Structure 1
C-alpha cells in the first residue's frame, strides 16, 4: 500500500502557495477550537507537545504560551514558514501524515486542529500520531462535523445555486478510509486505533466576518470550495458570487457583519 493517496496529492496541490490567503480568510475561524483542544490534551508547562498540521501556527503559539516545548509540522512549506513566524519559539518542520520524522514515544501530548480533514488515510494518520506519543500521553484532535453547520455550508450552497459541481480532478476519500463525522463516528475512530479513555464532544460557535473577507478565501482557491471555484471560467465565478451575495443576507447582522454558525468535533484519548 502506498503511503499517500490521490486525495493527499490533491491536498498538497490545493494548498501550495495559499498560506497567505488562508491566513487572511479562514485562519481566525479555524483557531476557535484551539483552547479546548489544548485543554483536552492536558497541555501545560514542561510537556513536549506535537502540533500536527499546524497551519499558520495558532495552536503551536497557544501551546507555547502555556509553557510547553512545542514541535509543529505541516505538509505545506508555506504554512510551515508562517507558523514559524507566528510561534517563533516552536520547532517547525515540513512533514505530512501518516509519516512523521520522530521517534516512537517522543511527545508527552499530541494535538491536531482540523488536520484529519486533510489526510487521505485518517486511520493511518491517527496510528502515526499514537506512535510518536509516549504511553500515558493524551491526544486531542478536531474535525469539521458533517452534515456541515449553516455557516460552513454557505459556499457549497452558492456553488450549487450556480449549477457548479465538483470537478473530477478533485478526489474524495476512498469509501474504506472515510468515517462518520459525528461524535460516535469520530470517537469510534480513536477506539479503533487502540486508544483509551476516549471522549468526543461537539463545539458550536458563531464566526463573525465580512462578506468580502469570507469570499476572499475561495476566490484565492483556498479549501475545497475554492478549488472548485477557481477551476471555473470567469462568467461562472461571477454567477457564484451573485448567488453568494444573495445567500449572505441570511447571515447578515445589524452591523453589516456576517454571523456564521459553525460546528466541529473535538475528540481526545489516552495512549
Structure 2
C-alpha cells in the first residue's frame, strides 16, 4: 500500500465527514466552477462532481494527484500549492478547502491568493481541526509519549489563527465579506487496528516518527495506542472541526 492509498483509507475517510456542509456553503445549491484546493485523494472533488459542478482540483503531492486523477477523469487535476496558484484572477465561482488552511505556511497570504482567484460574488468554504478535540489523532501522540520515545512535533503556525474570532478577522483582512465560522462535531467510528495501520503508513510530519522506530519500539507504541484507544472502540473517537464561509464582495 502506498502512502497515498493509506491516507485515502485513513485520513481521507476522517475528513470526509465535513464534505457535505463544506460544499453546501461553497456551492449554495448551484453547480459552479469550483476549485478544490488541497484536494488530497479527491473526496471533495468526488462529491462536487456528483452535484454537477465543474471541478478543478489542486494539491502539492504528486502521488495524491495521481490517485485523484485516476478516480475522477472528469475533473481538471493540477499540481499546485498555496500561496501561489496557477490561475487567472476571478477564475472560479466557488472555492472549497477541506483541512488545508491549517497546513499552509502563511494563512494570510493563502487567503489573499484564494480571494484573487475567486470571482466577485463567489463563495469560499474552508475547514480546519479544533485543537484539543482531535482524539482520533491525539491518541497517537499520547501513545508515543507513553512509550517514552523522543518526539518533537512539528510547529503549527496556524494555531495562532484557529479560533473563530481570529479567523474571521483574517478573512476580513484578505478582502472577504459575510464571514462566519461554525463548529462541526462527530464520532469517527473505525476499526482500531486498521486506523493504526493507515495512520502509521500514511506518515506525514506528525506521525512518520513511528515508522522510523525499531520494530520492538513500534510494537510498544502500538500497545499503548490500543490501550488508549480502547474506550472509543464502540462509539468512535470524538472529533471537532471548524467550518468557515465567506464571499468575495
TM-based fold match above 0.5: yes
Deviation at 1:63? 0.9
Alignment of 1:242 onto 2:223: yes
Judge conservation of contact 2:133–2:238 (CA < 8 Å) in 1. Answer: no
The answer for the alignment partner of 1:63 in structure 2 is 48
Separation in structure 1 between the aligned mates of residue 109 and residue 161 of structure 2, nearest angstrom: 16
Residues matched between the structures, number: 247
Q: How big is each residue's C-alpha offset from its partner over 1:33-74, in whole Å with a ceiling of 9 and x where there is no partner?
A: 111001111254441110000011110111111111110001
Higher helix content, 1 or 2: 2
Separation in structure 2 between the aligned mates of residue 190 and residue 165 of structure 1, nearest angstrom: 38
- Structural RMSD (CA): 1.8
Q: How big is each residue's C-alpha offset from its partner over 1:171-218, in whole Å with a ceiling of 9 and x where there is no partner?
A: 4245xx652422223323222212110010110000111011110123
Separation in structure 2 between the aligned mates of residue 61 and residue 242 of structure 1, nearest angstrom: 36
Alignment of 1:47 onto 2:32: yes
| More divergent stretch after superposition (73-82 vs 187-196) | 187-196
Separation in structure 2 between the aligned mates of residue 126 and residue 248 of structure 1, nearest angstrom: 36
SS state at 2:240 partner: strand
Q: How big is each residue's C-alpha offset from its partner over 1:154-183, in whole Å with a ceiling of 9 and x where there is no partner?
A: 11211121123434xx64245xx6524222
The answer for the alignment partner of 2:198 in structure 1 is 217
TM-score by length of structure 2 reads 0.92
Deviation at 1:132? 0.4
The answer for the alignment partner of 1:11 in structure 2 is none
The answer for the alignment partner of 1:84 in structure 2 is 69
The answer for the alignment partner of 2:238 in structure 1 is 261
TM-score by length of structure 1 reads 0.85
List runs of 5+ in structure 1 lacking aligned partners: 1-16
Alignment of 1:43-192 (within 5 A): 43-167=28-152, 171-173=154-156, 178-192=159-173
